[in-house]
Amino acid sequence: MEDVPQINLDHLEENRKIMNVITKWIQGKVDKNKWESLKHQLEDISIQLSEDRSEQKCFIKCFCGIVITISKFGKKERWIYSNFHSHMSRHLKDSIKNEKKRCQTSLLTNFLSISNETKSKESEINILDNKIIKTADSKKLEYKNSVGFRVENGEQYDHEFQMLESTEDNSQNGADLSINQAKSYSSNIEEGLEQPKEGEEESNETECFKDMTKNRQGNNEENLEPKPKGETWNEIEHNMKTKDQTGTNLLKWKSFKYQRSERLIRKREKLSLSGDQSRITDYLEVVEKISEAVNKMESAESRAFLSGIKISDQCLASQDKDTVLSNFLHKLLTIAKENSKHKRNEYSDFIKKVGIYLLRTGGRLLYETLQSNLKNILPSISSLNRFSKETNENIMTEAAFDFAGLEKYCDQRNIPKVVWICEDGTRITGKREYDKRTNCVVGFVLPLKNGVPQANKYFADSEENIVSYFENSTPKATIAYLIIAQPLSANVPPYVLCAFGTDNKFNHNDVLQRWEFIKVEAAKFNIRILGFSSDGDTRLLKAMRIASSLPNENSNHYNWPWFAMDMKNEEIYVQDTTHILTKLRTRLLKFGIQLPIGKYFISVNHLHELIKGCSKGLHRLTNWHLRAEDKMNFSAAEKICSIAVMDHLKEIPNAEGTSSYLKLMRYMIDSFLDQNTCLESKIYMSWYSVFF
């Protein structure tokens, strides 16, 4: 290993962090006793950072004298300690080897020493360590190293003993001592114990010793381990059970019996036997009540819900709901029988309309599931799309402004012809294909004329024209741009006024010219444009500022020092409220920015203090709402400026600036999005937000 390079120690804080990481890692690898011995050695570890910031290296000198180099990688610039871990693991491994004592499992036969040679005339049987000498005269036993078992001679007994017995004429062809012979010695030991008198209970020592000998006789093939001195047999048994639970018995969790699936099955069986398991019959009473309530419904909407399709009010007025449902099911059954007789399925327009309704309301997955279960009843999705194109008269043409359709849309719903224009684009996967309805090739970027895209530009008159579109490197559309008209009446969905493909290459002048074209064409159909809005696109924001005459140059004529509005504008230009609120939330959560307001500061730290110090049930705010990664999280913006949050924020000291900022966001939501707010309040809140 190379010596530590001469570098300056000017990163004290970084050194402290690295040392803390090393200390915590070593402490987690060893037990408490080993940690006490290693704690003093860690003081000899030294850390030096490289002076060259581009290298991002650190040199750690171990207490053994070896220098280990670690580096910093990744976007988060974290230290990689793998080199130090590998080196330190060897120290820990060596220390464990030195301290660990091998404890080999002992068998009963391991304590029996048998001399089987023909020359020897005595068989020596060693059982454990200590000696028990059996005399032929007194038949008494001598015990050494007492632990608490007393015998007739007043001496005590230790479980580690050695029994010697001289045998005569016992080794003619060798002496083989089996496990069964060992039982006889255990019985002799038991005979030497003091027998209790009649009517007296046996002493604990004698009873425990007898249990010990019986266990040895019944489990001759089990392993025996020497008993440590100073422990009773009850303590030994408890320690053995503890060892089994924490050691070898952990392998049982790998068996099939203790797998998670099997444990869940047994849990369900116990629940079913205990009576806590819910049964389907428990809900029969609830189902009956629901059925009675549904049968009492007489409205057209309820009957349409029961039939599963959208049925007209005239049909339900003349027929009973049960009759309508029965006829519908009978018709489905008839269609299934007829289509099963032929290879090609045929469907009526009524069934195709039902399929389109199911597809648009339930989604593709629901329709495919119903189609696979209702064989020969529902048409395929491709058939529905083809039928929709053939029968739909309102199919849009690319880049065509459908003001006639918008006028009809308002007349059908009997709503005022006053709309708000919104526009936005989204990225798509471009694809060029032939449209037989218009005899054009669609998918190319349409050229702009006075800001308006030119429809039907790429006609497919001949093969030469089609080839020229590709050879001339005509750009492929990568953005789907939509212009939508939103009526001001409540609960009325928006109407798609125009849609076209573009490559997102236009400027603010194109936007101004397109808006002027929309206003002129809408006036021809008696449609009033109340205003324009969009997202945060800089080109559209610049067009809004110019169209709104901001700054107002006419105010300089009167030398007014205050803000003046140009009353000549009939339309309103504003960025949509969703983007405004998400921008305000992003500015609040942006790290490192201080927003002073008077003598106070606007800071997200006040919200963090609110989350830590106040119960979630009071303000419903979590740390997830304060994450700045999702910049378009409108629901989080609403939660931050809720009434409950602003009320409890008053309890946080020096949070007046943050409260005013959240109040501004709350007023914008109530004035532009809340339909229940009265007109006077909307004007007050909007003016408060603008002139704050």
Percent of the chain with pLDDT over 90: 30
Between CA 255 and CA 27 the distance in angstroms is 33
Average confidence score pLDDT of the chain: 74
pLDDT bin (cut points 50, 70, 90) of residue 89 is confident
Query: Does residue 265 sit in the same domain as residue 159?
Result: no
Query: Does residue 431 sit in the same domain as residue 547?
Result: yes
Asked if the structure places residue 621 within a domain, the reply is: yes
Asked if the structure places residue 674 within a domain, the reply is: yes
| Parallel, antiparallel or unpaired: strands 156-157 and 149-150 | antiparallel
**DSSP string of 190-224, one letter each residue:** HHTSPPPPTTPPPPHHHHHHHHHHHHHHH-TTS-B
Does the pLDDT of residue 69 top 70, yes or no? yes
Tokens of 634: 């409108």
Query: Does residue 524 sit in the same domain as residue 408?
Result: yes
Using CB atoms within 10 A of its CB, is residue 161 exposed (0-12), middle (13-18) or buried (19+)? buried
What total of structural domains would you count in the chain?
6
Asked if the structure places residue 671 within a domain, the reply is: yes
Q: Residue 220: what pLDDT?
A: 43
Q: Residue 497: what pLDDT?
A: 95
Q: Map tokens 């060992």 to a residue.
A: 182
pLDDT bin (cut points 50, 70, 90) of residue 139 is very low
Query: Does residue 510 sit in the same domain as residue 542?
Result: yes
pLDDT tens digits along 506-528: 999 999 999 999 999 999 999 99
Average pLDDT over residues 388-397: 78
Does the pLDDT of residue 209 top 50, yes or no? no
Query: Does residue 431 sit in the same domain as residue 467?
Result: yes
Query: Does residue 277 sit in the same domain as residue 310?
Result: no
Q: Residue 471: what pLDDT?
A: 87
| Parallel, antiparallel or unpaired: strands 528-534 and 418-427 | parallel
The whole model's pTM is what?
0.50
Between CA 511 and CA 539 the distance in angstroms is 8
Say which residue, 126 or 283, is predicted with more confidence.
283
Q: Residue 29: what pLDDT?
A: 80
Query: Does residue 648 sit in the same domain as residue 664?
Result: yes
Between CA 638 and CA 584 the distance in angstroms is 11
pLDDT bin (cut points 50, 70, 90) of residue 196 is very low
Neighbours of 280 (CB within 10 A): 7
Q: What are phi and psi of 224, to 5 degrees?
A: -120, 140
The most confident of the ranges 77-86, 391-400, 427-436 is 427-436
Does the pLDDT of residue 637 top 90, yes or no? yes
pLDDT bin (cut points 50, 70, 90) of residue 28 is confident
In 118-134, which positions are buried (b, 16+ CB within 10 angstroms) versus exposed (e)?
A: eeeeebbbebbebebeb
Q: Residue 563: what pLDDT?
A: 61
| Parallel, antiparallel or unpaired: strands 572-575 and 67-73 | unpaired
* Cβ–Cβ < 8 Å for 453, 479: no
Give Cβ neighbours of residue 79 (< 8 Å, ≥ 6 apart): 18, 21, 58, 70, 71, 72
Q: Residue 564: what pLDDT?
A: 65
In angstroms, how far is CA 10 from the centroid of its own chain? 42
Does the pLDDT of residue 234 top 70, yes or no? no
In angstroms, how far is CA 79 from the centroid of its own chain? 27
Asked if the structure places residue 606 within a domain, the reply is: yes
pLDDT bin (cut points 50, 70, 90) of residue 251 is low
The most confident of the ranges 208-217, 245-254, 525-534 is 525-534
Q: Residue 248: what pLDDT?
A: 46
Query: Does residue 410 sit in the same domain as residue 554?
Result: yes
Does the pLDDT of residue 170 top 60, yes or no? no
Give the dihedral sign, CA 205/210/213/216.
negative
Does the pLDDT of residue 474 top 50, yes or no? yes
Q: Which helix (H) or strand (E) holds 287?
A: helix 284-295
Residue after which a domain boundary falls, among 391, 420, 436: 391
Identity of the residue numbered 585:
R
In whole angstroms, how large is the CA radius of gyration of the chain? 46
Average pLDDT over residues 175-192: 43
Query: Does residue 301 sit in the same domain as residue 275?
Result: no
- Domain extent, residue 19, equals 12-99
Identity of the residue numbered 200:
E
Asked if the structure places residue 6 within a domain, the reply is: no
Asked if the structure places residue 200 within a domain, the reply is: no
Query: Does residue 270 sit in the same domain as residue 324?
Result: no
Between CA 514 and CA 506 the distance in angstroms is 11
pLDDT bin (cut points 50, 70, 90) of residue 23 is confident
pLDDT tens digits along 443-465: 999 999 999 999 988 999 888 99
Residue after which a domain boundary falls, among 356, 391, 426: 391
Does the pLDDT of residue 150 top 70, yes or no? no
pLDDT tens digits along 553-570: 655 556 666 666 666 778
**DSSP string of 33-68, one letter each residue:** HHHHHHHTGGGG-EEEE-S-TTT-EEEEE-TTS-EE
pLDDT bin (cut points 50, 70, 90) of residue 83 is confident
Nearest to 609 by CA among 666, 654, 559, 560: 654
Query: Does residue 414 sit in the same domain as residue 550?
Result: yes
Average pLDDT over residues 322-344: 81
Distances in Å between the Cα of 482 and the Cα atoms of 100, 366, 422, 424, 669 are 76, 28, 8, 6, 25
Asked if the structure places residue 104 within a domain, the reply is: no
Q: Residue 346: what pLDDT?
A: 87
**Is-cis flag, bond preceding 487, omega within 30?**
no
Asked if the structure places residue 439 within a domain, the reply is: yes
pLDDT tens digits along 602-615: 999 999 999 999 98
Say which residue, 691 or 296, is predicted with more confidence.
691
Q: Residue 274: what pLDDT?
A: 67
Distances in Å between the Cα of 190 and the Cα atoms of 187, 206, 216, 227, 266 are 5, 9, 12, 19, 47
Does the pLDDT of residue 671 top 70, yes or no? yes
* Cβ–Cβ < 8 Å for 536, 524: no
Tokens of 137: 């005269």
Residue after which a domain boundary falls, among 558, 590, 609: 558
Q: Residue 603: what pLDDT?
A: 92
Tokens of 294: 């549904």
Query: Does residue 54 sit in the same domain as residue 149?
Result: no
* Cβ–Cβ < 8 Å for 230, 223: no
Distances in Å between the Cα of 218 and the Cα atoms of 105, 161, 167, 211, 212 are 18, 20, 26, 11, 10
Using CB atoms within 10 A of its CB, is residue 341 exposed (0-12), middle (13-18) or buried (19+)? exposed
Q: Residue 41: what pLDDT?
A: 79
Average pLDDT over residues 71-84: 73
